[in-house]
Amino acid sequence: MTTHSEAKSTYRYKTGTNRLGLWLFIISDAFVFGGLLVARFYLFGAERPELNQLLGLVVTFILLLSSFFMNRAETSMAYGDQKGFLRGTLITIILGILFLVGVVGVEWQIAPFSPGDNAMASVFYTMTGFHAFHVLTGVIFLIVVYRNGRKGIYTQEKHWPVEAAAVYWHFVDVVWVFFYPALYLMGAPVG
Amino acid sequence: MEAQNNNELNELNAKKKAAYGTGIVVFILLIALTIGEYFVGSIAIGWSWPLWLIALIKAAFILRDYMHVNRLFSWNEESE
């Protein structure tokens, strides 16, 4: 009994340490995104690239919806609902891929400029590309978590990787919360 | 003993429902704020401060309710 409670206590301590490490990484990564945001305002000023407004709104909606399902998946696991966790994670993966298709597969193709045209175009592709790379990393992370979840590796008490994947995924969402208005809404459109 | 187990199960289900409910409410708020910022951006061109404000509110909701930033300060407690 004592051994069991000791093991539980050790796991909680380790989770606390892991959590601190993950947040340290997230804060340092946030500075890189912050730098890109500063570059956008330094180089565009009160202007913004002419982009498809509807597409911007749709991909934003997709990412917010994916965060909702990721939260649902993590909550399900925290309450021992294995099926709910697998369903939520799978939907999040699909929505993440849809977001990538929307940005890289559609927006990049229909944008009226290419990366080397001017500073505005370069910053646009760098911001969306760097963010898309994080989404791709998140999708890979979620596929690993989903696969392990199917094997029944995670339990109600021990599911740190699920929490880590969820926090990382929501962080990618927070970045887009600032990138979306900065690229699509702030300033006068320039063709 | 059985009654106690049932009570614990009911309590757990109530907690789970509440957690799901919070997720839904936050999602609705995020969507409403996104639609709001879309219209602010379309109508009031050049007005960036309301867009910054909306983005900050959205980020605060995600950080608090989806990323559970408060868990950082509850070192030795359960996740939920």
Q: What is the pLDDT of residues A37-61, one digit of tens each?
A: 999 999 988 888 899 999 999 999 9
**Amino acid B75: pLDDT:** 64
Over the stretch A60-83, which tens digit does the pLDDT of each residue have?
999 999 999 999 999 999 999 999
Give dist(CA A36, CA A2) in Å, integer. 51
Task: Give the residue with greater pLDDT, A167 vs B74.
Answer: A167
Per-residue confidence band for B42, with pLDDT thresholds at 50, 70 and 90: confident
A72 to chain B, any CB pair closer than 8 A? The answer is yes
Strand partners, A47: A188
Residue B80: pLDDT over 60: no
What is the mean pLDDT of the segment spanning A31-36?
A: 97
Instruction: Provide Rg for chain B, Cα atoms.
Output: 19
Window from A20-29, A107-116, A135-144 with minimum mean pLDDT: A107-116
Q: What percent of chain A clears pLDDT 70, i.e. is strictly above it? A: 98
Cβ pair A95, A67 in contact under 8 A: no
Among A9, A67, A81, whose Cβ lies nearest the Cβ of B66?
A67
Q: What is the C-alpha end-to-end distance of chain A, expressed in Å?
A: 69
pLDDT of residue B1: 67
Please state the rounded mean pLDDT for residues B35-51. 88
Q: Is B76 among the domain residues?
A: no
What proportion of chain B, given as a percentage, has pLDDT over 70?
A: 91
pLDDT given at position A2: 61
* Residue numbers in A near B58 (CB within 8 A): 177
- Grade residue B45 by pLDDT with cuts at 50, 70 and 90: confident
pLDDT recorded at residue A8: 75
Nearest by CB to residue A64, choosing from B34, B77, B78, is: B34
Mean pLDDT for B57-64 is: 98
Worst-scoring range by mean pLDDT, A47-56, A137-146, A170-179? Answer: A47-56
Q: Mean pLDDT throughout B64-70? A: 96
- Distance CA(A62)–CA(A54), nearest Å, equals 12
Q: Enumerate residues 6+ apart whose C-beta is below 8 A from A121.
A: A49, A111, A113, A114, A115
Answer whether A84 touches B (CB < 8 Å).
no
Residue B7: band (very low, low, confident or very high) from pLDDT cuts 50, 70, 90 = confident
Residue B63 gets which letter from DSSP? Answer: I
What residue in B sits closest to A160 (Cα-Cα)? B79
Give the distance from residue B16's alpha carbon to the nearest chain A alpha carbon, in angstroms. Answer: 7
**Residue B34 placed within a domain:** yes
Write out pLDDT tens, residues A84-130.
Answer: 999 999 999 999 999 999 999 999 999 989 999 989 899 999 999 99
Contact residues for A153 (Cβ-Cβ < 8 A; gap 6+): none
Give A185's contacts in chain B (Cβ within 8 Å).
37-38, 40-42, 51
**Cα separations in angstroms, A98 against A81, A132, B15:** 26, 11, 32
pLDDT at A191: 67
Tell me, what's the pLDDT at A81?
A: 94
* DSSP state at residue B67: S
Q: Is residue B79 part of a domain?
A: no
Burial class (CB in 10 A: 0-12, 13-18, 19+), B4: exposed
Among B11, B12, B66, B76, which would you mutate to test the A interface (most chain A Cβ atoms within 10 Å of its Cβ)? Answer: B66
Range of the structural domain that residue B28 is part of? 2-71
Helix axes B49-61, B2-43, angle to 10 degrees: 170
Taking 90 as the threshold, does the pLDDT of residue B51 lie above it? Answer: yes
Domain count, chain B: 1
pTM summary value: 0.92
The string of DSSP letters for chain A reads -HHHHHHHHHHHHHHHHHHHHHHHHHHHHHHHHHHHHHHHHHHHTTEEE---HHHHHHHHHHHHHHHHHHHHHHHHHHTT-HHHHHHHHHHHHHHHHHHHIIIIIIIHHH-SS-TTS-HHHHHHHHHHHHHHHHHHHHHHHHHHHHHHHHTT---SS--HHHHHHHHHHHHHHHHHHHHHIIIIISSEEE-
Does residue B16 surpass a pLDDT of 70?
Answer: yes
Q: ipTM for the complex?
A: 0.92
Residue A1, pLDDT above cutoff 70: no
Rounded CA separation A60/A76 (Å): 24
Contacts of B19 in chain A (CB under 8 A): 75, 78-79
